Amino acid sequence: MDNMDKEKKKFFMTPAKLMIALFTVICLVIPIATAVLPKQERSENENRTLAKFPQIINQTKLDKAENFADVIGAVRWEDITVRDEDSYMDKLETYFSDHIIGRDEWVRTRNTIEMLAGKKEINEVYTLKNQMIQVFKDYDKETVNASLNAMNRFAETHPDMQCSLMIAPTAQELFSSEIPTYAGYLSEKTFIDECYKKMQGVTTIDCLSYLSGHQSDYIFYRTDHHWTSLGAYYAYCAAAKALGYSSYGVSSFNIETANSCFRGTLYSKTLDNSITPDSIDYYHLASGEPTVKMTVFDGTKETVYDSLYVRSFLDVKDKYSSFTGSNAPIVTIETDVDNGKSLLLVKDSYAHSLVPFLSKHFSKITMVDMRYINTDLSKFIDVDSYQQTLFMFNAISFSSDIHLKKILLTK
């Protein structure tokens, strides 16, 4: 025992003191640093505004207060007496967690622990060696049927229109051999086949087989749920027959790597830095690009560009949006391709990197995003003036799309 005591004296402090010191440091440094350091208003990774410090007093009411009763009335009593999600107490907790110092590092720590504990899927992202994958777990059959019926009906009511459908696979299908079957993810191939079987009067475009033939190429981003320009190029080749053009060979293009530090939506879910960042490639025709005029209508106003690439997006988090800009209700592209062909493209964001290729073969392409249009489409465009319609979605977003059926509102 004497020995132990002697030995203890050699140390600066007892284990109990060390515990107290560590606990004190953790419990003081985190809140003080959080309080003192500047706060961010937005989280780029989550694409949302972070919580503001909850106010217990309604400032406008307080300013107008004329007597004591008004002052009492300015207190948000319902926030502090009713215990629900809107309560002051919950808002304060949300504020703390939105602004805690080193928030991303805490997320990374948590995800690292999850990975170490054997979890393969984090926030619906399955991570392979150097590839993140958005997983396709389930879908509602009725939702999908409603979309399929809507397209069939559209084709039926526009007999002069040449309609086609392209459902693109996502990375999950292309990497399916590396994901164990017990993980229980659905087969996109089966899903696409089943959808295609139900189409009437609509030409279906099999881009899955085309992409599968180039499985080892860089056709899907590692950190984003979209396909790369090369992936979109193969889809463009797959669509050639249905849309009636002859596609350019890959060697006809000069490839510009516009950015090589792109970390996309899947990265945002896990913040896993071990995955190599992606490159954003632009494919320019070596023989010269057609001149384009791109008009983006965001629901209220129009913005005109003289390129399909909105390079300002390369400087922000959401670099994929540099392809024709971020999602907008209606984007009209007019080119100097002098063949008079016009295409109505009802789409999700996968189409954005496809459009630069298609633009070589059409005088006019109008991209329509039904997620942002809640009314009769013909209020904005003259549907019957188009010769062709292409419906283009990726399998996962199509499987949960509840907006496409609104196309039937079109008169």
CB of residue 284 to another protein, shortest distance in Å: 27
Least spacing, CB of residue 40 vs another protein, in Å: 13
Query: Among 233, 221, 44, which residue's Cα sits nearest to residue 133?
Result: 221
Residues 317, 94, 117, 119, Cα dihedral to 10° = -60
Binding region for another protein (CB under 8 A) out of 75-83, 249-257, 274-282, 383-391: 75-83
Rg (CA), the chain: 27
Q: Report the residue number, 99 or 341, with the smaller CB distance to another protein.
A: 99
Which segments of 330-376 does DSSP mark as H helices, in order? 355-358
Closer residue to another protein in complex, CB, 225/360 = 225
d(Cα 9, Cα 298) in Å, to the nearest integer? 73
Shortest spacing between CB 23 and another protein, in angstroms:
5
For residues 353 and 129, give the distance between their C-alpha atoms in angstroms, rounded to a whole number: 26
How far, in Å, CA of 101 to CA of 36, rounded?
Answer: 10
Span 190-229, contacts to another protein by CB under 8 A: 225
Residue 57 or 80: the one with the smaller Cβ distance to another protein is 80
Question: Closest CB to another protein among 37 and 183?
Answer: 183
State the residue for tokens 């913005």.
Answer: 303
Q: Long-range CB contacts (< 8 A, 24+ apart) of 207-215?
A: 207/166, 207/168, 207/169, 207/234, 207/235, 207/238, 207/239, 208/168, 208/169, 208/173, 209/238, 210/234, 210/235, 210/237, 210/238, 211/168, 211/169, 211/174, 211/235, 211/238, 212/174, 215/174
Residues 153-182 that bind another protein (CB under 8 A): 180-182
What is the nearest approach in angstroms of another protein to the Cβ of residue 275?
Answer: 15
Rounded least distance, CB 170 to another protein, Å: 11
Considering only the stretches 13-21, 149-157, 201-209, 330-338, report the one whose residues sit in contact with another protein under the rule CB under 8 A: 13-21
Given the complex with another protein, which of 35 and 286 has the nearer CB atom? 35
Residue found by looking up tokens 């059409």 in the block: 362
Q: Is 19 in the site for another protein (CB under 8 A)?
A: yes
Segment interacting with another protein (CB under 8 A) among 60-68, 150-158, 229-237, 394-402: 394-402
Return the half-sphere exposure (C-beta side, CA atoms, 13 A cut-off) of residue 219.
Answer: 25
Give the amino acid at 95.
Answer: Y
Q: Which of residues 233-262 bind another protein (CB under 8 A)?
A: none
Task: By CB under 8 A, name the one of 40, 55, 123, 374 that touches another protein.
Answer: 123
Instruction: Quote the least distance from Cβ 106 to another protein, whole Å.
Output: 5
Closer to another protein by CB, 179 or 211: give it: 179
Q: Does 52 bind another protein (CB under 8 A)?
A: no
For another protein, the binding residues in 82-121 under the rule CB under 8 A are 82-83, 87, 89, 92-94, 96-98, 100, 103, 106-107, 109-110, 113, 117-121
Q: How far, CA to CA in Å, does 9 sit from each of 2, 3, 84? A: 11, 10, 53
| CA distances from residue 284 to 293, 294, 363, 385 in whole angstroms, order as listed | 16, 17, 18, 29
47 φψ region: left (φ > 0), alpha (ψ -120 to 50), beta (else): left
Where on the chain is the footprint of another protein (CB under 8 A)? Answer: 4, 7-8, 10-11, 14-20, 22-23, 26-28, 30-31, 34, 45-48, 80-83, 87, 89, 92-94, 96-98, 100, 103, 106-107, 109-110, 113, 117-121, 123-124, 134, 180-184, 225, 265, 268-269, 318, 326-327, 348-349, 371, 396-397, 400
